[in-house]
Amino acid sequence: MAKRTSKFLKGRRIDPAPLTPTTTIAELVDGAFIAYNGARLREACQLFTRKMLEPEVTIGMSLTGALTPAGLGMSALIPLIKAGFVDWIISTGANLYHDTHFGIGLVMREGRADISDIVLRAEEVVRIYDIFFDYSVLLDTDAFFREIIGGKEFQKTMSTAEFHYLAGRYVHERERKLGLRDKSLLAVAYEYGVPIYTSSPGDSSIGMNVAAKALLGNKLAFDPSLDVNETAAIVLAAKRNGGSGTGRGKKKAGLSGCFILGGGSPKNFLLQTEPQIQEVLGIDERGHDYFLQVTDARPDTGGLSGATPGEAVSWGKVDPERLPDAVVCYVDSTVALPIITAYALAQHAPRQPKRLYDRREEFMSLLTSEYRKSKRR
Protein backbone atom coordinates (compact mmCIF):
# COMPACT_ATOMS: atom_id res chain seq x y z
CA MET A 1 0.00 0.00 0.00
CA ALA A 2 1.36 3.42 -0.98
CA LYS A 3 2.17 5.70 1.95
CA ARG A 4 -0.27 8.56 2.43
CA THR A 5 1.34 11.96 1.85
CA SER A 6 1.13 14.18 4.92
CA LYS A 7 -0.91 17.34 4.59
CA PHE A 8 2.18 19.15 5.85
CA LEU A 9 4.13 18.19 2.75
CA LYS A 10 2.03 20.18 0.30
CA GLY A 11 4.40 23.13 0.03
CA ARG A 12 6.29 23.80 -3.16
CA ARG A 13 9.43 21.79 -3.77
CA ILE A 14 12.62 23.65 -2.96
CA ASP A 15 14.33 23.67 -6.34
CA PRO A 16 15.09 27.29 -7.27
CA ALA A 17 16.43 28.33 -10.64
CA PRO A 18 19.99 29.74 -10.54
CA LEU A 19 20.26 33.51 -10.47
CA THR A 20 21.58 35.11 -13.65
CA PRO A 21 22.67 38.60 -14.75
CA THR A 22 19.16 39.14 -16.13
CA THR A 23 17.18 38.01 -13.07
CA THR A 24 14.41 40.53 -12.38
CA ILE A 25 13.38 41.73 -8.93
CA ALA A 26 10.17 39.68 -9.17
CA GLU A 27 12.08 36.55 -10.18
CA LEU A 28 14.53 37.13 -7.33
CA VAL A 29 11.81 37.53 -4.70
CA ASP A 30 9.45 34.82 -5.95
CA GLY A 31 12.16 32.30 -6.79
CA ALA A 32 15.06 32.76 -4.39
CA PHE A 33 13.44 34.03 -1.17
CA ILE A 34 12.38 30.56 -0.07
CA ALA A 35 12.83 30.24 3.68
CA TYR A 36 13.41 32.08 6.95
CA ASN A 37 13.10 35.86 6.81
CA GLY A 38 13.68 35.73 3.07
CA ALA A 39 10.37 33.88 2.83
CA ARG A 40 8.68 36.45 5.06
CA LEU A 41 9.95 39.20 2.77
CA ARG A 42 8.57 37.31 -0.22
CA GLU A 43 5.21 36.97 1.56
CA ALA A 44 5.30 40.70 2.34
CA CYS A 45 5.91 41.57 -1.31
CA GLN A 46 3.13 39.28 -2.47
CA LEU A 47 0.62 40.39 0.17
CA PHE A 48 1.21 44.05 -0.62
CA THR A 49 1.11 43.64 -4.38
CA ARG A 50 -1.54 40.96 -4.87
CA LYS A 51 -4.05 41.95 -2.16
CA MET A 52 -3.38 45.30 -0.51
CA LEU A 53 -3.13 47.15 -3.82
CA GLU A 54 -6.64 46.21 -4.91
CA PRO A 55 -8.66 49.40 -5.61
CA GLU A 56 -11.04 48.93 -2.67
CA VAL A 57 -8.18 48.94 -0.13
CA THR A 58 -7.11 52.15 1.62
CA ILE A 59 -3.48 51.85 2.71
CA GLY A 60 -2.12 53.58 5.78
CA MET A 61 1.63 53.58 6.35
CA SER A 62 3.57 54.24 9.55
CA LEU A 63 7.21 55.39 9.48
CA THR A 64 9.61 54.86 12.37
CA GLY A 65 13.39 55.01 12.34
CA ALA A 66 15.59 57.40 10.41
CA LEU A 67 14.40 56.42 6.93
CA THR A 68 14.36 59.75 5.10
CA PRO A 69 17.96 60.67 6.04
CA ALA A 70 19.02 57.43 4.36
CA GLY A 71 17.34 58.56 1.13
CA LEU A 72 14.38 56.18 1.36
CA GLY A 73 11.96 59.06 0.95
CA MET A 74 13.29 59.67 -2.54
CA SER A 75 14.04 56.06 -3.53
CA ALA A 76 10.93 54.34 -2.18
CA LEU A 77 8.29 56.42 -0.37
CA ILE A 78 7.82 59.05 -3.08
CA PRO A 79 7.50 56.44 -5.87
CA LEU A 80 4.91 54.60 -3.76
CA ILE A 81 2.86 57.78 -3.33
CA LYS A 82 3.13 58.70 -7.01
CA ALA A 83 1.94 55.20 -7.97
CA GLY A 84 -1.08 55.57 -5.68
CA PHE A 85 0.20 52.78 -3.42
CA VAL A 86 0.09 54.77 -0.13
CA ASP A 87 -3.03 56.73 0.83
CA TRP A 88 -2.20 58.19 4.24
CA ILE A 89 0.81 58.25 6.56
CA ILE A 90 1.74 58.48 10.23
CA SER A 91 5.38 59.38 10.73
CA THR A 92 7.79 60.45 13.40
CA GLY A 93 8.43 64.18 13.23
CA ALA A 94 12.13 63.47 12.77
CA ASN A 95 11.53 61.73 9.44
CA LEU A 96 9.67 64.80 8.16
CA TYR A 97 12.24 67.25 9.52
CA HIS A 98 15.15 65.42 7.85
CA ASP A 99 13.08 64.98 4.69
CA THR A 100 12.86 68.77 4.46
CA HIS A 101 16.66 69.07 4.15
CA PHE A 102 16.47 67.58 0.68
CA GLY A 103 13.49 69.67 -0.40
CA ILE A 104 15.21 72.96 0.42
CA GLY A 105 18.46 72.01 -1.30
CA LEU A 106 20.58 70.91 1.66
CA VAL A 107 23.00 67.97 1.56
CA MET A 108 23.47 64.79 3.58
CA ARG A 109 26.35 62.43 2.87
CA GLU A 110 27.47 58.85 3.34
CA GLY A 111 29.76 58.46 6.33
CA ARG A 112 31.05 55.83 8.73
CA ALA A 113 29.75 54.74 12.10
CA ASP A 114 33.22 54.15 13.56
CA ILE A 115 34.43 57.76 13.40
CA SER A 116 34.92 59.42 16.79
CA ASP A 117 31.93 61.59 17.65
CA ILE A 118 34.25 63.88 19.61
CA VAL A 119 36.17 64.52 16.39
CA LEU A 120 32.93 65.00 14.45
CA ARG A 121 31.65 67.49 17.01
CA ALA A 122 34.84 69.52 16.67
CA GLU A 123 34.35 69.48 12.88
CA GLU A 124 30.68 70.53 13.28
CA VAL A 125 29.56 67.31 11.63
CA VAL A 126 26.34 65.65 12.84
CA ARG A 127 25.98 61.86 12.61
CA ILE A 128 22.98 59.57 12.20
CA TYR A 129 24.74 56.21 12.43
CA ASP A 130 26.67 56.22 9.12
CA ILE A 131 25.11 59.38 7.64
CA PHE A 132 26.99 62.69 8.03
CA PHE A 133 25.84 66.28 7.52
CA ASP A 134 27.07 69.74 8.43
CA TYR A 135 25.65 71.36 11.57
CA SER A 136 24.45 74.25 9.39
CA VAL A 137 21.89 71.86 7.82
CA LEU A 138 20.06 71.85 11.14
CA LEU A 139 20.27 75.61 11.51
CA ASP A 140 19.08 76.28 7.95
CA THR A 141 16.16 73.86 8.30
CA ASP A 142 15.20 75.40 11.64
CA ALA A 143 15.23 78.81 9.99
CA PHE A 144 13.01 77.54 7.18
CA PHE A 145 10.37 76.23 9.57
CA ARG A 146 10.48 79.32 11.79
CA GLU A 147 9.95 81.48 8.73
CA ILE A 148 6.97 79.61 7.32
CA ILE A 149 5.14 79.13 10.63
CA GLY A 150 5.15 82.87 11.05
CA GLY A 151 2.69 83.04 8.13
CA LYS A 152 -0.95 84.00 8.66
CA GLU A 153 -2.33 80.59 7.69
CA PHE A 154 -0.42 78.99 10.58
CA GLN A 155 -1.86 81.25 13.31
CA LYS A 156 -4.39 78.79 14.68
CA THR A 157 -4.85 75.36 16.23
CA MET A 158 -4.79 72.57 13.65
CA SER A 159 -4.25 68.88 13.09
CA THR A 160 -0.76 67.75 12.18
CA ALA A 161 -2.11 66.72 8.77
CA GLU A 162 -3.09 70.32 8.03
CA PHE A 163 0.28 71.55 9.25
CA HIS A 164 2.19 69.11 7.07
CA TYR A 165 0.01 69.93 4.07
CA LEU A 166 0.74 73.67 4.48
CA ALA A 167 4.43 73.02 5.11
CA GLY A 168 4.56 70.68 2.12
CA ARG A 169 3.23 73.47 -0.08
CA TYR A 170 6.14 75.69 0.95
CA VAL A 171 8.68 72.90 0.46
CA HIS A 172 7.14 72.18 -2.96
CA GLU A 173 7.55 75.84 -3.90
CA ARG A 174 11.16 75.90 -2.67
CA GLU A 175 11.89 72.82 -4.77
CA ARG A 176 10.42 74.54 -7.81
CA LYS A 177 12.56 77.64 -7.32
CA LEU A 178 15.70 75.52 -6.85
CA GLY A 179 14.97 73.41 -9.93
CA LEU A 180 14.53 70.28 -7.81
CA ARG A 181 11.91 67.56 -8.30
CA ASP A 182 10.65 64.74 -6.10
CA LYS A 183 13.21 65.25 -3.34
CA SER A 184 10.80 65.79 -0.45
CA LEU A 185 8.15 63.42 0.86
CA LEU A 186 6.30 66.40 2.36
CA ALA A 187 6.17 68.15 -1.01
CA VAL A 188 4.95 65.09 -2.92
CA ALA A 189 2.35 64.27 -0.24
CA TYR A 190 1.05 67.84 -0.62
CA GLU A 191 0.92 67.43 -4.39
CA TYR A 192 -0.96 64.11 -4.22
CA GLY A 193 -3.26 64.95 -1.31
CA VAL A 194 -1.80 62.30 1.02
CA PRO A 195 -2.41 63.32 4.65
CA ILE A 196 0.58 62.92 6.97
CA TYR A 197 0.10 62.81 10.74
CA THR A 198 2.64 62.82 13.55
CA SER A 199 1.68 60.98 16.71
CA SER A 200 4.14 62.98 18.88
CA PRO A 201 4.47 66.41 17.25
CA GLY A 202 6.59 67.84 20.06
CA ASP A 203 9.16 65.04 19.73
CA SER A 204 11.18 66.47 16.84
CA SER A 205 13.01 69.58 15.70
CA ILE A 206 9.83 70.75 13.94
CA GLY A 207 7.97 70.68 17.25
CA MET A 208 10.91 72.34 18.99
CA ASN A 209 10.77 75.26 16.56
CA VAL A 210 6.98 75.54 16.96
CA ALA A 211 7.54 75.70 20.74
CA ALA A 212 10.22 78.37 20.32
CA LYS A 213 7.92 80.56 18.23
CA ALA A 214 5.14 80.11 20.82
CA LEU A 215 7.39 81.92 23.34
CA LEU A 216 7.11 84.99 21.11
CA GLY A 217 3.34 84.83 20.68
CA ASN A 218 2.95 82.60 17.62
CA LYS A 219 -0.52 81.02 17.69
CA LEU A 220 0.27 77.73 15.96
CA ALA A 221 -0.72 74.73 18.11
CA PHE A 222 -1.40 71.09 17.36
CA ASP A 223 -4.65 69.49 18.50
CA PRO A 224 -4.09 65.76 19.21
CA SER A 225 -7.86 65.19 19.40
CA LEU A 226 -8.16 66.26 15.77
CA ASP A 227 -5.46 63.77 14.82
CA VAL A 228 -7.12 60.93 16.74
CA ASN A 229 -10.54 61.61 15.22
CA GLU A 230 -9.37 62.38 11.68
CA THR A 231 -7.35 59.16 11.46
CA ALA A 232 -10.28 57.14 12.83
CA ALA A 233 -12.53 58.87 10.30
CA ILE A 234 -10.21 57.90 7.45
CA VAL A 235 -10.40 54.24 8.47
CA LEU A 236 -14.17 54.27 9.01
CA ALA A 237 -14.70 55.90 5.61
CA ALA A 238 -12.37 53.37 4.03
CA LYS A 239 -14.49 50.52 5.38
CA ARG A 240 -17.83 52.17 4.61
CA ASN A 241 -17.10 53.90 1.30
CA GLY A 242 -13.74 52.63 0.12
CA GLY A 243 -15.01 49.95 -2.22
CA SER A 244 -15.23 50.19 -5.97
CA GLY A 245 -18.10 49.24 -8.22
CA THR A 246 -18.17 45.68 -9.55
CA GLY A 247 -19.81 46.61 -12.81
CA ARG A 248 -23.02 44.82 -11.75
CA GLY A 249 -24.56 47.61 -9.73
CA LYS A 250 -22.99 46.31 -6.53
CA LYS A 251 -20.26 47.82 -4.42
CA LYS A 252 -17.41 45.79 -2.96
CA ALA A 253 -16.79 46.38 0.71
CA GLY A 254 -13.99 48.78 1.47
CA LEU A 255 -10.90 47.44 3.20
CA SER A 256 -8.18 48.96 5.37
CA GLY A 257 -4.54 47.95 5.04
CA CYS A 258 -1.68 48.79 7.43
CA PHE A 259 1.90 48.93 6.13
CA ILE A 260 4.08 49.36 9.22
CA LEU A 261 7.77 50.23 8.98
CA GLY A 262 9.37 49.80 12.39
CA GLY A 263 7.10 50.20 15.39
CA GLY A 264 6.86 52.76 18.14
CA SER A 265 4.24 55.45 18.48
CA PRO A 266 3.40 55.71 14.74
CA LYS A 267 2.54 51.99 14.66
CA ASN A 268 0.16 52.34 17.57
CA PHE A 269 -1.38 55.53 16.22
CA LEU A 270 -2.14 53.75 12.96
CA LEU A 271 -3.60 50.66 14.63
CA GLN A 272 -5.49 52.45 17.43
CA THR A 273 -7.93 53.86 14.88
CA GLU A 274 -9.97 50.66 15.15
CA PRO A 275 -10.20 50.67 18.99
CA GLN A 276 -11.15 54.35 18.75
CA ILE A 277 -13.99 53.40 16.41
CA GLN A 278 -15.15 50.28 18.28
CA GLU A 279 -14.20 50.64 21.95
CA VAL A 280 -14.40 54.40 22.49
CA LEU A 281 -17.01 55.56 19.97
CA GLY A 282 -19.08 52.36 20.08
CA ILE A 283 -19.35 52.10 16.29
CA ASP A 284 -19.78 48.62 14.78
CA GLU A 285 -16.47 47.60 13.21
CA ARG A 286 -14.16 44.55 13.27
CA GLY A 287 -10.60 45.74 12.69
CA HIS A 288 -8.07 46.42 9.96
CA ASP A 289 -8.05 43.90 7.13
CA TYR A 290 -4.38 43.74 6.17
CA PHE A 291 -1.36 43.90 8.48
CA LEU A 292 2.13 44.11 7.01
CA GLN A 293 5.00 44.99 9.33
CA VAL A 294 8.73 45.26 8.81
CA THR A 295 10.50 45.27 12.18
CA ASP A 296 13.57 44.16 14.10
CA ALA A 297 11.74 44.20 17.47
CA ARG A 298 11.03 41.02 19.45
CA PRO A 299 7.49 40.24 20.61
CA ASP A 300 8.50 38.63 23.93
CA THR A 301 9.56 41.90 25.61
CA GLY A 302 5.96 43.13 25.67
CA GLY A 303 6.66 46.25 23.65
CA LEU A 304 4.29 47.54 21.01
CA SER A 305 7.01 47.60 18.34
CA GLY A 306 7.27 43.81 18.39
CA ALA A 307 3.60 43.04 19.06
CA THR A 308 2.23 40.51 16.59
CA PRO A 309 -0.94 40.84 14.52
CA GLY A 310 -2.42 38.07 16.68
CA GLU A 311 -1.93 40.23 19.77
CA ALA A 312 -3.49 43.15 17.88
CA VAL A 313 -6.62 41.04 17.37
CA SER A 314 -7.18 40.96 21.13
CA TRP A 315 -7.39 44.79 21.10
CA GLY A 316 -9.77 44.92 18.16
CA LYS A 317 -7.04 46.41 15.98
CA VAL A 318 -7.07 43.61 13.39
CA ASP A 319 -10.07 41.63 12.11
CA PRO A 320 -9.55 38.07 13.44
CA GLU A 321 -10.89 36.59 10.22
CA ARG A 322 -8.14 38.38 8.29
CA LEU A 323 -5.15 36.96 10.21
CA PRO A 324 -4.10 34.84 7.20
CA ASP A 325 -3.55 38.19 5.46
CA ALA A 326 -0.96 39.31 8.01
CA VAL A 327 2.82 39.20 7.58
CA VAL A 328 5.57 40.24 9.98
CA CYS A 329 8.93 40.55 8.28
CA TYR A 330 11.92 40.59 10.67
CA VAL A 331 14.18 42.56 8.39
CA ASP A 332 15.74 46.03 8.58
CA SER A 333 13.43 48.55 6.88
CA THR A 334 16.33 49.91 4.85
CA VAL A 335 16.62 46.45 3.26
CA ALA A 336 12.95 45.50 3.00
CA LEU A 337 11.36 48.76 1.84
CA PRO A 338 13.34 49.17 -1.41
CA ILE A 339 12.68 45.53 -2.31
CA ILE A 340 8.95 45.70 -1.57
CA THR A 341 8.73 48.98 -3.52
CA ALA A 342 10.60 47.69 -6.56
CA TYR A 343 8.54 44.48 -6.56
CA ALA A 344 5.23 46.35 -6.34
CA LEU A 345 6.14 48.85 -9.04
CA ALA A 346 7.19 46.02 -11.36
CA GLN A 347 4.18 43.82 -10.67
CA HIS A 348 1.22 46.18 -10.27
CA ALA A 349 -0.16 49.00 -12.38
CA PRO A 350 -0.48 52.43 -10.69
CA ARG A 351 -3.66 53.12 -8.74
CA GLN A 352 -5.71 56.28 -8.93
CA PRO A 353 -4.64 58.51 -6.00
CA LYS A 354 -7.42 58.71 -3.40
CA ARG A 355 -6.48 62.27 -2.29
CA LEU A 356 -7.78 61.64 1.23
CA TYR A 357 -6.57 65.01 2.52
CA ASP A 358 -9.19 66.75 0.39
CA ARG A 359 -11.99 64.65 1.95
CA ARG A 360 -11.23 65.06 5.67
CA GLU A 361 -14.39 67.07 6.41
CA GLU A 362 -16.55 64.50 4.63
CA PHE A 363 -14.94 61.70 6.64
CA MET A 364 -15.34 63.57 9.93
CA SER A 365 -19.03 64.08 9.18
CA LEU A 366 -19.42 60.32 8.69
CA LEU A 367 -17.61 59.58 11.97
CA THR A 368 -19.68 62.14 13.90
CA SER A 369 -22.92 60.87 12.40
CA GLU A 370 -22.23 57.25 13.40
CA TYR A 371 -21.05 58.29 16.88
CA ARG A 372 -24.30 60.18 17.47
CA LYS A 373 -26.17 56.90 16.92
CA SER A 374 -23.92 55.06 19.37
CA LYS A 375 -24.87 54.08 22.93
CA ARG A 376 -21.31 54.89 24.02
CA ARG A 377 -21.84 58.67 24.00
Question: What residue segments make up the domains of the chain, in order of their start?
Answer: 39-105+137-372
Q: What is the mean pLDDT of residues 141-156?
A: 97
Mean pLDDT for the chain?
Answer: 93
The fold adopted by the segment(s) 39-105+137-372 is Deoxyhypusine Synthase (3.40.910)
Q: What is the mean pLDDT of residues 152-168?
A: 98
Specify the DSSP class assigned to residue 373. Answer: T
Residues 305-351: pLDDT tens digits? Answer: 877 777 788 778 887 888 888 999 999 999 999 999 999 999 999 99
| Other beta carbons within 10 Å of 118 | 8
Which band of pLDDT confidence, cut at 50, 70 and 90, is reported for residue 123? very high
Cα(234)–Cα(130) distance, integer angstroms: 37
Cα(51)–Cα(356) distance, integer angstroms: 20
CA atoms lying within 13 Å on the CB side of residue 210 = 22
Q: What is the mean pLDDT of residues 216-239?
A: 97
pLDDT given for residue 315 in this prediction: 79
Helix (H, G, I), strand (E, B) or coil at 63: strand
Residues 37-63: pLDDT tens digits? Answer: 999 999 999 999 999 999 999 999 999
Helix (H, G, I), strand (E, B) or coil at 30: helix
CA proximity to 252, closest of 199, 202, 289, 210: 289
Helix (H, G, I), strand (E, B) or coil at 128: strand
Cα(106)–Cα(174) distance, integer angstroms: 12
Q: What is the pTM of this model?
A: 0.93
Helices (H), 7-77: 25-32, 36-47, 72
Q: Which residues are catalytic?
A: 317
